[in-house]
Amino acid sequence: MSSTLVHQRSLSIRPSNGMIAYLQLPLQSILLGHAQIFDQIRGVQSYEFDSVRSAYISLEPWMTKARVQEVYQALRHTYGAYIRFGAAEQKTTARAAALYRGSPHCTIVTAAMTEEFLAQLPIRLLPGLGERTTRYLEKHGVTTFAAFRDVSHQTLRDWFGVSGLILQQFSRGIDPRPVEQRQRFALA
């Protein structure tokens, strides 16, 4: 396997104003080693593997919702009907859009929809929270992104330190992390 987990289409890496998509394949599928499809789809700027069966995909700024839907259809044609796909302006919302329903789907969340979309989601979809932390939050009545937004800064600092404030920004749809090269998982 190549040590490069991100592919950039150009030599100059610049911040994208385009959408970020999140793709998750079914349990028995493996994305690693088969990602050349991303190089063949028009509008894909770069990609980052999140696990052996999921990836973030940075899309070109000119992509419309209809073009993002075409990317989904191309991925569905390649990987099958059971993929989960979400697209938004930043990573947290794209991942949540892909994972919030158990069934295969495509959800595109525009900037205008982000806050309302995230508010309803269960806290377990907030990146960086494990099962134990999720249970702790639920025990304290924090069951949705909206409830997490309402927790005071001091309480978040007491519970999680500075990381709590970063997670609260994610729950609001503020996530400046770009699609970039880094090892997000370990291969056994």
Q: What kind of fold does domain 6-117 have according to CATH?
A: Alpha-Beta Plaits (3.30.70)
At 139, is the secondary structure helix, strand, or coil? Answer: helix
Is the pLDDT reported for residue 65 higher than 80?
yes
- pLDDT given for residue 13 in this prediction: 32
Query: Which neighbouring-strand residues pair with 7?
Result: 47
User: For 139-164, how does the pLDDT look when each residue is reduced to its tens digit (9 = 90+)?
Assistant: 999 999 999 999 999 999 999 999 99
Give yes or no on whether 6-117 and 121-171 have one common fold: no
- Predicted TM-score (pTM) of this structure: 0.84
Residues 78-99: b if buried by 16+ CB within 10 A, e if exposed: ebeeebbbbbbbbbbbbbbbbb
8 A C-beta contact, residue 184 and residue 50: yes
8 A C-beta contact, residue 69 and residue 108: yes
8 A C-beta contact, residue 52 and residue 89: no
Query: Which neighbouring-strand residues pair with 84?
Result: 24, 105
Task: Give the span between the Cα atoms of 52 and 30, in whole angstroms.
Answer: 6
Q: What kind of fold does domain 121-171 have according to CATH?
A: DNA polymerase; domain 1 (1.10.150)
Is the pLDDT reported for residue 183 higher than 70?
no
* Domain boundaries along the sequence of the chain: 6-117, 121-171
